[in-house]
Amino acid sequence: MTITVGSLSRLQKVSQRGADLVFSFESSDLVMTPLLPNVIRHTWVPTHWRLYTEPVRAAHAVARRYWPAGPSPALREVPGKVCIEVGDFLIEATREPFHLRYCTADGRPVLEEIEQGGLSWSYWDYSLRYMLSSEDHFYGMGQADQLSGPIDLDHRGQTREVWNQHSPPAVTIFPSLLSLRGYALLIDNPCRAVWDLGYSDRQSFSYQARGGGLQYYIVLGPDMARLLQTMLELTGYPPLPPRWVFGLLQSRYGYRSRQELETIAQSFRTRQLPCDALILDVFWFREMGDLAFDPQKWPDAREMIARLKQQGFRTVVIEEPYLTQQSSNYPEALSRGYLARRYDGSPYTFDFWPGECGLFDFSNPAAREWWTGKHRSLFEIGIDGWWTDLNEPAKHFQDMAHHAGPAAAVHNLTGFWMQQSVYDAHQQYAPNQRIFILSRAAFPGSQRYGAALWSGDVDKTFASLRKQVAIGLSVGLTGIPLWGSDIGGFGFGGECTGELYARWFQFAVFCPLCRPHGDQKELREPWQFGAEIEAICRKYLQMRYRLLPYIYNAAHDACTTGIPIMRPLVLEYPGDPQVLNLADEYLFGPEILVAPILDEGAVERSVYLPQGNWIDYWSEEIHAGPKHITTRAELSKLPLFVRQGAIIPMGPDLQYSSQHPLDPLTLEIYRGADNSLTLYEDDGESNAYQNGDYAETRFDLTHNDRELICHLGQTKGNFRDYPPERTIILNIHQQPQVAAVTCNAEPVPMKTAETMGQARTGWHWSHHNRLLSIKLSPANTARTVRVV
């Protein structure tokens, strides 16, 4: 139980100091700094009694150090209160007992501290406490998991501990949240903390931290989309990942030799199973911490990586923040003081599964620079991606001393600093190569270093599969666009059956990352489960690879707007009470609703369809929402629904993402509602897009009583290898009888199904499924297609 020692109780005065508003109390100041019209930074500055808190140092989560002049506040005194108008905020500060009430500029209440003790402290910690409104529903917050029971999408009524850990399962809770009421909170403090979101007291919610400086940000927004964008303004935009990341990332614990890896690669190509990357677990090095291939098991690694790349495979390697005493890097790291130590300065070693270890001290900037340098040789031999594992850190002793302070102060930042070190290596040794880091722990801002998350060593059970949906959706609402889970589960909980693998695989195909992985005895290649399961995996892999233009477009949106690739329905339908805590279906990109099968033996499930018309992807039956339906789903079928009016860009069949250019470009058009699509394209490999080397093409779909009109805009921009001309195919679903098709007022010739394939241009309508296919000859000009 926390004993409150002090709180901000009586406001003495409010003064302006440059851009800051200073609220002065007997023993401390609270400084408000308007940064943007919808963002105010709050800094608590104890002036006399400091207890165990530290002064606010450089921010970690927030990327920007310098801000242009923010909006100017206007103060107005009323009896017992100070009213402040600044940007999008109207703030009421009650003098005694002091508490703050935040409203929108038009006076709508959004967030209010409890009447007394909104900011309070004890000998060991401090807390923020706010009134809990019926409109409050809390989202994001990172990656929550638990050993038993379901995971909620809405965190209301829960407690969440801000402490990276892997029991298992993996838990990475952020000191940030979004509320459906129209605000976001970000506390830029890495120390251990607890969110109590109405669990202990149904009238309030709180954040309580054990030490550290108190600097927090309150963000206003009319919807979650605006909040997500603003949070990226604060914590940093993620770089656009390479396109190969959205292919299959095949992994296992682990491939033990070059011969085994090359055999796996050949099997993928022989079996016509698309795959883009092979991920190497701990058997690629001799000792943990070496950061070098074991030449006995992996002879001529450079040549192997080059050969795999010629076949369309990228190589990703694991690294951890531990060095065994037998590691070739251990003596130097120890002598330089780059390992965590005891408080008397002596080495701190401990027994861990790879052997007697030391923990690398990523809190030391010089150590991070040294770690960065150890990647040079790996870039030189062609490594494409990085897997930073165990970086909670998984084994961390609280009596360890670090360069930046005690273990409790640096624990939650270890993964963040490790990601920064790998990112810096990219900047130094491969500045034009896009970054991909798969990580098990993170902190707000990790996304700006190219970090992705996965859910760790999860159980291989249907109960675990069910939890992955809420986990992935929450990570997306935290600002990290790339997330995945171990297809089939890692290694606990029983046998990974063919049914479980197939259902997990179907789900993962419609996640940002698609990665099979399992423990040492858990084989996770699709053919390990028999011909039926292999065929199901092939079917969905081929679908994912054809959807790469759609997925890549959604990834670009995520990296520029914060709208995640994998989207909870509450993001788009916040006024629908049915979706506030809906955690077993979601939108993949803007147009596809995914309802994975999450129960063993299930051959049907209930699906909630929100407002609008939704088309069953398989049968093309139209359903008018909002309503629940029951849909059949035998083992080979994943329930999918497409929004009416959708324009879905698709590419050719591929065995790896860069096998062919995007030619032809197929637009799957689900007629019935007007819509538009801006297709983003770049080379998918380099950072040239940051200098403007990309192309965008807008497509507009309109209807009236007589005709359907599809306008294909002129492509704007260019990039390396952009096709100067390409064929475009329009597949228009739900199309009634066709009389004629024109392109720029010129007739398009009608073809038979047999002659369409060889024709440069033409159209064919199928009476059987009411599908109109229109093929347009290669060109790169604006065109208007009319169907009557």
Shared domain check, 268 and 205: no
Residue type, 720: R
Q: Do the domain assignments include residue 85? A: yes
**Phi and psi at residue 770, in whole multiples of 5°?**
55, 45
Residues contacting 548, CB < 8 A, separation 6+: 243, 246, 247, 651, 654, 657
Identify the pLDDT of residue 170. 83
Residues 177 and 253 in one domain: no
* Pairing status of strand 695-703 against strand 675-681: antiparallel
- Which pLDDT belongs to residue 53? 42
Task: Report angle CA 464, 154, 446 to the nearest 5 degrees.
Answer: 75
In a domain, 185, yes or no: yes
280 and 223, same structural domain? no
In a domain, 579, yes or no: no
Give which of 535, 444, 455, 541 is closest to 498, Cα–Cα: 535
Cα–Cα distance, 401 to 320 (Å, whole number): 19
- Categorise residue 770: left if φ over 0, alpha if ψ from -120 to 50, beta otherwise: left
Say how far apart CA 615 and CA 769 lie, in whole Å: 13
**Residue 54's pLDDT is what?**
46
Please list, in sequence order, all residues whose beta carbon lies within 8 angstroms of the beta carbon of residue 11, skipping any fewer than 6 positions away. Answer: 23, 24, 25, 82, 93, 94, 95, 96, 98
What's the CATH number where 718 sits? 2.60.40.1180
Q: Are residues 284 and 206 in the same domain?
A: no
Element (H, E) at 193: strand 193-196
Task: Please check whether residues 188 and 260 belong to one and the same domain.
Answer: no
Tokens 């002879």 -> residue = 299
Tokens, residue 126: 């401090």
For residue 225, give the H/E element and its range. helix 224-235
Collect contacts of 282-286 with beta carbons under 8 A, ≥24 apart: 282/253, 282/254, 282/318, 282/320, 282/354, 283/254, 283/255, 283/256, 283/257, 284/254, 284/317, 284/318, 286/326, 286/328
Whether residues 80 and 113 share a domain: the answer is yes
Number of separate helices (H) and strands (E) present in the chain: 14, 54
3-state secondary structure of 516: strand
pLDDT surpassing 60 at residue 363: yes
Please give the single-letter amino acid code of residue 711.
Answer: H
CA 352, CA 289: separation in Å to the nearest integer? 13
**Axis-axis angle for helices 258-270, 301-310 (nearest 10):** 0
Number of C-beta neighbours around residue 210 at 10 A: 18
Cα–chain center distance at 13: 43
Residue 494 has pLDDT above 90, yes or no: no
Residue that terminates a domain, selected from 421, 439, 454:
454
CA distance 283 to 281: 6
- Can you read off the two tokens belonging to residue 272? 């016509």
3-class secondary-structure state, position 262: helix
Highest averaged pLDDT of the listed ranges 119-128, 167-176, 341-350? 341-350
Residue 277 lies in a domain: yes
Among 637, 640, 629, 641, which Cα is nearest to 603's?
A: 637
Same domain? 378 vs 400: yes
Please, which residues bridge with residue 161 across strands?
A: 194
| Cα–Cα distance list, 532 to 72, 497, 502, 640 (Å) | 66, 12, 9, 21
What does the alpha-carbon distance between residue 402 and residue 420 come to, in Å, rounded to a whole number?
17
Is residue 775 within 8 A of residue 720, CB to CB? The reply is: no
- Residue 123, pLDDT > 90, answer no
Q: Residue 223: pLDDT band by 50, 70, 90 thresholds?
A: very high
Assign residue 368 the CATH number of its domain.
3.20.20.80
Amino acid 2: pLDDT: 54
Q: How many whole angstroms from its chain centre is CA 556?
A: 12
Residues 172 and 211 both lie in one domain? yes
Residue 715 covered by a domain:
yes
**Do 345 and 439 belong together in one domain?**
yes
Structure confidence at residue 655 (pLDDT): 99
The whole-angstrom separation of Cα 598 and Cα 92 is: 48
Cβ neighbours of residue 78 under 8 Å, at least 6 residues apart?
none
State the Cα–Cα distance between residues 119 and 136, nearest whole angstrom. Answer: 20
pLDDT of residue 68: 87
- State the DSSP H helix or E strand holding residue 731, giving kind and residue range, or none if neither: strand 726-733
Q: What pLDDT digit, counting tens, does each position of 517-547 carry?
A: 999 989 999 999 999 999 999 999 999 999 9
Q: In residues, how long is the chain?
A: 788
Helix axes 498-509, 531-546, angle to 10 degrees: 0
User: Whole-prediction pTM value?
Assistant: 0.97
The mean per-residue pLDDT over the stretch 609-617 comes to: 99
Q: At 732, phi and psi to the nearest 5?
A: -100, 115
First CA to last CA across the chain, in angstroms?
73
pLDDT, tens digit (0-9, with 9 covering 90-100), for 710-751 = 999 999 999 998 988 999 999 999 999 999 999 999 999 999
Whose CA is closest to 491, among 467, 473, 464, 471? 464
Structure tokens at 24: 């002065």
The amino acid present at 258, given as its one-letter code, is R
Q: What is the mean pLDDT of the chain?
A: 96
Residues 101 and 226 in one domain: yes
Distance, in Å, from the CA atom of 75 to the CA atom of 62, rounded to the nearest integer, reads 28
> Residue type for 416, please?
F
Q: How far apart are CA 243 and CA 473, in angstroms?
A: 21
Q: How many other C-beta atoms lie within 10 A of the C-beta of residue 10?
A: 11
434 and 302 share one domain:
yes
Specify the DSSP class assigned to residue 419: H
Single out the residue in 407, 430, 454 at which a domain terminates. 454
Q: What is the CATH number of the domain that holds 70?
A: 2.60.40.1760
C-alpha torsion 508→510→513→518, nearest 10: 0
Of the candidates 712, 781, 784, the one whose C-alpha atom is nearest the C-alpha of residue 746 is 784
Note whether residue 429 is domain-resident.
yes
3-state secondary structure 580-592: CCCCCCEEECCCE
Q: Are 71 and 87 contacting, i.e. CB atoms less than 8 angstroms apart?
A: yes
Quick check: 236 and 445 in contact, CB under 8 A? yes
How many Å apart are CA 492 and CA 170, to the nearest integer? Answer: 13
| Domain end (from 419, 454, 489) | 454
Strand order in the sheet with 592-594: 566-567, 586-588, 592-594, 640-643, 604-616, 622-632
> What does the pLDDT look like over 5-56, one tens digit per residue?
688 999 999 999 988 999 999 888 999 999 999 999 999 977 644 433 444 4
Tens of pLDDT along 88-118?
A: 999 999 999 999 999 999 999 999 999 999 9
Output 169 or 280, whichever has higher pLDDT: 280
The answer to the question of residue 616 being in a domain is: no
734: Cβ contacts below 8 Å, ≥ 6 apart: 615, 620, 622, 670, 671, 672, 770
Q: Classify residue 738 as exposed, middle or buried by CB count within 10 Å of its CB (0-12, 13-18, 19+).
A: middle
The answer to whether position 615 is within a domain reads: no
Cα separation, 767 vs 723, whole angstroms? 34
Q: Are residues 424 and 358 in the same domain?
A: yes
pLDDT tens-place string over residues 412-448: 999 999 999 999 999 999 999 999 999 999 999 999 9
Q: What is the pLDDT of residues 317-348, one digit of tens each?
A: 999 999 999 999 999 999 999 999 999 999 99
Which structural domain, as residue segments, surrounds residue 299? 244-454
Report the domain count for the chain. 3
